[in-house]
Amino acid sequence: MTDCKILLVDDNKSILSALEILLQFEYKTVDSISNPNQLSSFPDLSSFDIVLLDMNFSAGVNTGNEGLFWLKEIRKKAPNTSVIMMTAYGAVDLAVKALKEGAADFILKPWNNEKLLATVKSAYQLRKTRKEVQQLKQKESSLKQVINQNKNFIIGNSRALNTVLSLVDKVAKTDVNVLITGENGTGKELIAREIHQKSKRKDEVFINVDMGSISENLFESELFGHTKGSFTDAKEDRTGKFEAANGGTLFLDEIGNLSLQMQAKLLSAIQNKTIVKVGSNKPIPVDIRLVCATNCNLEQMVADGIFREDLLYRINTIHIEVPALRDRDNDILLLADFFLKKFSAKYGKAGLRLNHAAEEKLSGYHWPGNIRELQHTVERAIILSDGQVLKANDFPFHNKFHPSSTDSPLTLDEMEQQMIRKALERHEGNQSAAAEQLGITRQTLYNKLKKQGN
Ligand X SMILES: Nc1ncnc2c1ncn2[C@@H]1O[C@H](COP(=O)(O)OP(=O)(O)OP(=O)(O)O)[C@@H](O)[C@H]1O
Contact positions vs ligand X (CB under 6 A): 152-156, 182, 184-190, 253, 293, 295, 335, 371-372, 375
Q: Which is nearer to ligand X, 148 or 217 (CB)?
A: 148
Q: Which is nearer to ligand X, 253 or 394 (CB)?
A: 253
Nearest distance from residue 105's CB to ligand X, in Å?
Answer: 51
Nearest distance from residue 1's CB to ligand X, in Å?
Answer: 46
- Contact between 265 and 219 under an 8 Å Cβ cutoff? The reply is yes
Q: Which is nearer to ligand X, 157 or 355 (CB)?
A: 157
Nearest distance from residue 343's CB to ligand X, in Å?
Answer: 12
Residue 440 half-sphere exposure, CB side, CA atoms within 13 Å?
Answer: 16
Cα of 268 vs its chain's centroid, Å: 17
Q: Which residue is nearest to ligand X (CB)?
A: 187
Q: Which is nearer to ligand X, 16 or 378 (CB)?
A: 378
Nearest distance from residue 188's CB to ligand X, in Å?
Answer: 3
| Contacts with 342 (C-beta within 8 Å, 6 or more apart), sequence order | none
- Contact between 28 and 15 under an 8 Å Cβ cutoff? The reply is no
What are the start-end ranges of the E strands in 182-306?
A: 206-210, 225-226, 238-239, 249-253, 274-276, 283-285, 289-294
DSSP-derived letter for residue 368 is T
| Contacts with 103 (C-beta within 8 Å, 6 or more apart), sequence order | 71, 83, 84, 85
Nearest distance from residue 212's CB to ligand X, in Å?
Answer: 9
Nearest distance from residue 440's CB to ligand X, in Å?
Answer: 19
Q: Which is nearer to ligand X, 225 or 256 (CB)?
A: 256
Q: Which is nearer to ligand X, 243 or 253 (CB)?
A: 253
CA–CA gap between residue 295 and residue 442 (Å, rounded)? 15
Q: Which CA distances in Å does 159 have to 325, 330, 336? A: 12, 10, 18
